[in-house]
Structure 1
Amino acid sequence: MKKILLLFWVLFCTISTWATQRSTGEALEIARSFFARYPATRSVDDIRLVAISGDLLKSASTRSVSNEPAFYVYNHGQSAYVIVSGDDRMKPVLGYSDKGAFVTDNLPPNIQSWLESYNAVHTALVNGEQAIKEPRLLTRAVFPETVDPMLGEINWNQDAPYNNACPIVQGNRCVTGCVATAMAMILKYHEYPVKGKGTYSYKISSGLECSFDYGNTTFSWDKMLPQYVSGSYTTEQANAVAELMYACGVAVDMEYSPSSSGAYSFKVGQALIDYFGYDENLGYVCRQYFTSEEWMNMIKTELSEGRPVLYNGASKDVGHEFVFDGYDAQDMIHVNWGWGGSNNGYFEVVSLDPSSPGIGGGTNLGGGFIYQQGMLIGLEPPTASSSYTSHFYLSKLEVNKKEIAKGESFDLTVTKLYNMSTKFQNGQLALIAEKGGKQLALWNVSLGNVNTNYGSEGQTFSNITISNDLVDGTYALYLATKDMRETAWSRVRSGYGFESQFTLTVTGNKCILTPFTGNLTLQEDLDGSVEILHNLYSGRKGDFKMILSNRNMTNDFYGLAGVVFITTDEKPQIISFTGYTQLELKPGTNNKEVIISGNLISNLTETSTDIPVGDYYICPGVRWGEYVYGIGDNLVTVTVNRAYGSPSLVVEDVRLEKNQIQVGEKLKLLAYLSLSGAGNVYDKTLMAAIFTVGQSSTSNIHYAEIFIEKDHPLDFEMEFDPQIDEGSYTVNLYKPELLGGYDGNKPLCRLDFSVGSATSIEDEVTDKEGMIIYQQPVEDVLYIRTSNTAKMISVYNLAGQQMIQQKESADNPTKEYSIPVAGLPSGCYIVVLQSTDGKAYRNKFMKR
């Protein structure tokens, strides 16, 4: 990919105790390595040093006391150049261009100013100033190795009896809603309050009024059961949990519906304070405004201090609220999904993907609750030891002057400044200059009270100055807030790539402000490639494989990544960001494979239309600030074809791989699919519905996307966990009808099967609670933790056949074990662990 001039301000990493000046030879090696990464400059025969900082900058005010070079400039023939930093506390590459050589004579004023800025920072470093880095959230550095699931046996759901107090709409009882169920489980854990506070009422969209008298309600915690099994609870016990569920729903303006009730997650925090009397210092935070390290530390802080976390996320289908209540030694989080115990287990925060979502959880095609993540922190009854932290975010910070003198006024424009947390009380907004961990407020203004999710779309503040007392050095310049309850300023946050703060370089009376977008440099740090997995058709589904890397060894990327479509004309334009998914690339990630799908739509143009037929370039892309950028060096040329007609789907040789499976085993449906009639492509979603024999309706639904081209039949496989007990069943397969939806009277096939109990191997094991499997389904390695030291670990299939046996060393204080299972076929297995004291533990796991 062609690159334009990129002279970017450097974000400095932490200072090394043994920081050193780069020699000419070291700088040359960096230049060689940089040029070698790109095909056009891969030859290293024509690299030469054309300038150092002292040759280009004559001003005494920008020189360090050591007279060492701040940077080196290397040309690659007449085609490209790179600027290499002179100190290992600065990032190696400061800027580069592949549009010609660096010309040292008559530098343009903007280039001269940039180079002076780099030099000023180098001067500050050499003279003993601390390098600037992005301020980070202060959290605990040491945590317990593990926290066991705090909710224990609390496994509540959204249907009866939990929804017995919910309104009836169109003759049907509404479900509680995931927000209410997750809230209620945490309230049950704390068994607080005894009584609520105040009253609240509102109307749902149908006009039905919902109200609750919190102040006159005494919650019957002792009557609430950890689980409700049909026929095993009393009316009093059912009423106790139903009352709590409805109280939670009303508090957050639940939009009730018989199939899926919903509420906004940001409303929960203030509702818990106002109506349930929880600690007023609790807060709500959004994932995209924090680094991965900060986010995990916040989660572990909450859990290690005995506070289950109310967490939310969205899939491609729907949003969901659930509970984090523990973690293991691999930073896998234990999730209680609020579906009566179904799918509970250990998951990575970046891949919260339950295999069979429950009520209101969308479909198995949602891709996990990886989007729009957020959580409540500090959720506990009132305590004197808590403290409040304000959490605001913004999208852009601008100044009308990039170079000013001390005492000279300038304007500051703030775009989209909002409070993401609970109510902000009688607070202030300030412009902070930070160096060495010390904050200096250059300017401040009153914000008063700001409610959750409220703020300003845009505002300009005038007559701001930099004090004459500000000493020479390099500062982080950012906005911060301070509530009346806070003693320190809290930095206003923004997402990756947003210009939301500045680097301020002060040299004498001269102040230079350079936009700063974070510790990650887009073009230097992120790399990738993409390939198509089948022919592409306008407006239809495309499937792609991306290979992505993060070369930065200290900072992660968290954001949206997808495939960028670029026109091939004289003025190329990005017209589509296709199949984008939420992605985390940890520091040093190399060649991470990501499979994505998305319809070929021009979604970056003024109107959303099908991508026109024709040739395009494609490459991986990421959302960086307000815009989408391509990454990587290679553009792939693809053709978008015309899709025509409406072919009919032909289904043949439909069968189940096994007509009898065991409890917990996956069901696999096979078929031979082809097309007939006029048309060249078919991309639809098939639906499998499981019925108990004699049953005429079901909610046990599973989906599979298919893509078939004319003359390219498909050997179709659909595998899923049916989540059913012993018995006889029928699975029906459906295709969507012409007008949408599925006709229950027109199945493509009906296949009978039965489910039996697992083999007797389970009955031979004495304890199944003493072994925890980190995450299911398992892919290449099975990770387990036990309450006792292992002597032998064995894996069995459901027929009782031993597949793996692995001896373990008695010298393992962590009681953490890993068993390679990549060679096992997909399906359900039983792992049995024999401990050194003669006990046996067992558990089931699914192999993907």
Structure 2
Amino acid sequence: MKRIATLVLMLCIACSAFADNVSQSRAESLAKAFFSSTATKGKDVKVEMVWNGQDASTRSGEAPAFYVFNREGGGFVVISGEDAAVPVLGYSETGSFKAKAIRSNVKGWFDMYSREVAYLRSIGERPDSEMEAQWAASAIKSNLRRAGGKNLNTKSWGQDAPYNLRCPVVDGLQSVTGCVATAVCEVMRYHEWPQTVTGTLPSYKYKTDKGTTRTEPSHRLDTTYNWSKMPNDRYSYTQEQAQNVSKLMFDVAVMLQSNFNGVDNYGAYGTGAYSEYIVPMMVHYMDYDSSAVLLYRNNYSTLRWSEILKAEIDGGRPMPYAGDDNESGHQFVVDGYDGNGNFHINWGWDGDDNGFFAVSSFRIGSDYDFRYNQTAVIGLQKNQGGTPHEPQLSYYVETGTAGVSLVSGTIESGSFTMRAGDFYNFGAFDVDADFAFVLMDYADNVKKVVATPDHQVLEFNEGAAVDQPCTLSVTDLAGLAFGDKLVFCYKLAGGNWTKILVDSYSNPGISEYPIYDAPCIKVNATATYSASEIIPLEIVNNRTAPSSVTWYIDGVAYGDTEARLEPGVHTIKCVARFNYVNHTLVQQIKVNP
């Protein structure tokens, strides 16, 4: 068995001289235009640029990736520094951006914007007509007036006093609650659940940021949470409210096995915990629904990811959300969205810098391959009697092998060996299942299990690679058809064989080994869809993973892995590079109203 760290680091890409940069003066005029729709008639909008992401480590002469402007009287807006990117990256109609005391999770999110802009500049990207229209002052001005959206308005809590009153002193410094515990507690306060808890949290050991070994003792949970007597914020509270909220925070921090650390006068150190612990601990100790699950953004298209987040908010479920930069992980709460596709983020710092932010500076459908180190906990709500989410098993490309392959023999002979690996359990619960290679048809119907099942129990973050001898009889061989494939699957007790997939952005790697190597664009049986459907863009029947893929919809480049199309007949084209040779695949589909 093997174990891996789940953090995948994205290196910054050097800027290119070919992209068009946005000057500070142009950004300022757009910031004024943004707020002008809500300004008092006849009154000028005054803004001040307070941060452009640059510091002493930034190379001299490097163009800013973004500009943050505070509005006189309250509010801020973030304008992109690159006109091939989405123009408005974030905003709030109230408060101000605390540029002189930027918190780590806020900086981590803005670092994502910087990496995206650096990527655009590195490839010399130019704005198309759609993006140019978005950059018009009139379009910027209409952002605040666009209808739609919902905000769940979670409490603006933080990590220090009064929330950390029960947290221990570590290495001579008062520790804080940590961003993970604070985010989870904000969600719990929204649901006001549970009412009472029982049980004992186990002790655990960890190394502090200063290198000392510390043991957090076991902790009794028996208590009733008085939700109505917890503070709304840190600025006005009673002693009773302080004790109630600090009890909740400490319980959750210990439950998540947080590494408590103190914070010095320079903001160094801090308490940390793993997002992967949220679901199992909340289900086991806090009576939250078993259907909750931690999802990884890299496994979804930008379109699908945005719709998942919106569905959670529409369902009244704010989400603990994690984003990683090159140094550490950060947790916060996503609790709303607006009519422009931006999401409301509660950073967990007493309301500082809360606002609506773009989940990407790339427009949906842009032709980019970019990895995001982000997760969201969905389905986090009081116990509804739900069933656990299906196992989250997928191949992990960075281990050197990913997906399925033919090791020896030939399929035509009926005797061969297939390999699957490295596959990992990224879910919150152990996976106790049989694993085997299965022959499926084009529609994923099981035709035959071709290998002796291998029984394994995979804990969280545990994985394996297996070689399995496979056999096909003479009758099996005679019945093979185009679209048939060998797929490595798992089967839970009483369940069905289910494919293990390579995540959307993993290259190289395939999860299906076709009987006939003839790549094509995957469609349903009739190549017909409805306008409400999200249509996957996927290549199938290929024995090797393409080194690059470019999609076109009706002649226009499209870079996401899924699309929703207007009614009519559409032409899907894909230029895929296999073994240093480009192959063009074309498929026509029909979309009904």
Shorter-chain TM-score tier: 0.5 to 0.7
Q: Give secondary structure in 1 for the equivalent of 2:437.
A: strand
Query: Given the alignment of the two structures, is residue 236 of structure 1 paired with residue 237 of structure 2, yes or no?
Result: no
1:454 to 441, 462, 479: 462
Residues 1:500 and 2:500 aligned together: no
- The amino acid of 1:261's aligned partner reads T
Structure 1 equivalent of residue 162 of structure 2 = 161
> Which among 556, 561, 583 is matched to residue 560 of structure 2?
556
How far the C-alpha of 1:418 sits from its partner, in A, is: 0.8
Match of 2:425 in 1: 419
Corresponding residue of 2:37: none
Deviations 1:377-402 (A, max 9, x none): 22122213555221111131221258
2:292 counterpart of 1:282: yes
- The residue number in structure 2 matching 1:341 is 351
Deviations for 1:589-614, whole angstroms, at most 9, x for unmatched residues?
xxxxxxxxxxxxxxxxxxxxxxxxxx
Q: How does 1:8-157 map to 2 (within 5 A)?
A: 146-150=148-152, 152=153, 154-157=155-158
C-alpha deviation, 1:298, in angstroms: 2.3
Give how far 1:346 is off.
1.3
Letter in 1 for 2:277: K
Q: Does 1:226 align with 2:232?
A: yes
Distance 2:196 2:494 in 1: 26
**Aligned-partner Cα distance in 1 for 2:432–2:312:** 27
Q: Is the 8 A contact 2:155 2:233 kept in 1?
A: yes
Q: CA 1:437–1:271 in 2, change beyond 3 Å: closer, same or farther? A: same
> 1 or 2, which has the higher helix percentage?
2
Deviation string 1:536-572 (CA, Å, 9 cap, x unpaired) is: xxxxxxxxxxxxxxx87455279xxxxxxxxxxxxxx
1:474 aligns with 2:476: no
Structure 1: which 5+ residue stretches go unaligned?
1-144, 353-368, 527-550, 559-584, 588-623, 632-848
How many Å apart are 1:327 and its aligned residue? 1.6
Q: Which amino acid aligns with 1:442?
A: V
Q: Return the match for 1:489 from 476, 495, 498.
A: 498
Contact 1:390 1:490 survives alignment (8 Å): no
Amino acid of the residue matched to residue 416 of structure 2? F
| Number of the residue aligned with 2:328 | 318
Structure 1 segment 689-768 matched on structure 2, within 5 A: none
Distance 1:196 1:448, change over 3 A: farther
- Match for residue 198 of structure 1? 199
Shift of 1:419: 0.7
Question: 5 Å matches for 1:579-598?
Answer: none
Aligned to 1:207: 213
> Match for 1:459: what amino acid?
V
AA partner of residue 281 (structure 1): S
Name the % identity: 26
Residues 410-455 of structure 1 show CA distances to partners (whole Å, capped at 9, x for unaligned) of: 2222222111111134323343525235455634735444222122
1:556-635 matched pairs, under 5 angstroms? 556=560
Residues 290/434 of structure 1: CA separation in 2 closer, same or farther (3 Å cut): farther
Determine if contact 2:345/2:354 at 8 Å carries over to the other structure: yes
Instruction: Measure, in 2, the Cα distance between the counterparts of 1:341 and 1:513.
Output: 51
- 3-state SS of paired residue (1:204): strand
Does the 8 A contact of 1:176 with 1:249 survive in 2? Answer: yes
Per the alignment, do residues 377 and 258 of structure 1 end up closer, same or farther by CA in structure 2, a change over 3 Å counting?
same
1:184 Cα deviation (Å)?
A: 0.7
Q: Which residue of 1 aligns with 2:306?
A: 296
Conservation of the 8 A alpha-carbon contact between 1:157 and 1:338? yes
Residues 277 and 382, structure 1, Cα contact 8 Å, conserved in 2: yes
Residues 341-490 of structure 1 mapped to structure 2, 5 A cutoff: 341-350=351-360, 371-386=372-387, 388-394=389-395, 395=397, 396=402, 397-401=404-408, 403-405=410-412, 408-432=414-438, 433-436=440-443, 438-440=445-447, 442-443=449-450, 445-456=453-464, 458-465=465-472, 467-468=476-477, 470-475=479-484, 477-484=486-493, 489=498
Structure 2 Cα separation of the partners of residues 485 and 196 of structure 1: 33
- In the alignment, the residues of structure 2 paired with residue 244 and residue 370 of structure 1 have an alpha-carbon distance, to the nearest angstrom, of 35
In structure 2, relative to structure 1, the CA distance for the partners of 1:198 and 1:460 (3 Å cut) is farther
Which residue of structure 2 aligns with residue 845 of structure 1?
none
Partner of 1:747: none
Partner secondary structure for residue 244 of structure 1? helix
Deviations 1:507-558 (A, max 9, x none): 9xxxx9742537xx616569xxxxxxxxxxxxxxxxxxxxxxxx87455279
Q: Secondary structure at the match of 1:515?
A: coil
**1:183 paired residue number:** 184
Q: Which has the higher contact order (CA 8 A, sep 6+)?
A: 2
Q: CA RMSD in A?
A: 3.8
Change (3 A) 1:219 1:555: same
1:252 paired residue number: 256
What are the superposed Cα offsets for residues 444-472 of structure 1, whole Å, 9 maximum, x if unpaired? 7354442221222x322223548458552
Q: What 5-or-longer segments of structure 2 have no aligned partner?
A: 1-146, 264-269, 363-369, 518-539, 566-576, 583-593
Note closer, same or farther for the CA distance 1:208–1:326 as it changes in structure 2 (3 Å cut).
same
Max radius of gyration: which structure? 1
Q: Distance in 2 between matches of 1:552 and 1:429?
A: 41
Output the CA distance in 2 between the equivalents of 1:227 and 1:486.
47
Pair 439,148 (structure 1): closer, same or farther in 2 beyond 3 Å: farther
Which AA in structure 2 matches 1:228?
R
Give me the whole-angstrom Cα distance separating, in 2, the residues matched to 1:236 and 1:287: 40
Q: CA deviation at 1:338?
A: 0.8
User: With structure 2 as the length reference, what TM-score do the two structures score?
Assistant: 0.56
Q: Which secondary structure state, in structure 2, belongs to the residue aligned with residue 499 of structure 1?
A: coil
Residue 216 of structure 1: aligned partner:
222
Q: Between Structure 1 and Structure 2, which shows a larger proportion of strand residues?
A: 1
Q: What residue number does 1:515 align with?
A: 543
Q: Give deviations 1:268-310, integer Å, cap 9, x for gaps.
A: 2212122222222322222222222332232223222221111
SS class of match (1:175): coil
Q: Which amino acid aligns with 2:227?
A: W
What amino acid sits opposite 1:375 in the alignment?
A
Gap change, CA 1:441 and 1:225, over 3 Å in 2? farther
Tell me the secondary structure at the aligned position of residue 374 of structure 1: strand
In the aligned structure 1, how far is the partner of 2:250 from the partner of 2:350?
17
CA distance in 2, matches of 1:586, 1:416: 33
**What is the match of residue 68 of structure 1?**
none
Distance change >3 Å, CA 552–CA 501, structure 1 → 2: farther
Aligned with 2:245: secondary structure? helix
Q: Partners of 1:271 and 1:491 in 2: how far apart?
A: 26
**SS of residue matched to 2:411:** strand
Report SS of the residue matched to 1:390: coil
Instruction: Call closer, same or farther: CA 1:257–1:308 in 2, change over 3 Å.
Output: same
- Are residues 223 and 170 of structure 1, via their aligned partners in 2, closer, same or farther at CA, if it must alter by over 3 Å? same
CA contact (8 A) 2:489 2:497 kept: no
How far the C-alpha of 1:332 sits from its partner, in A, is 1.4
Map 1:780-819; keep pairs closer than 5 Å: none
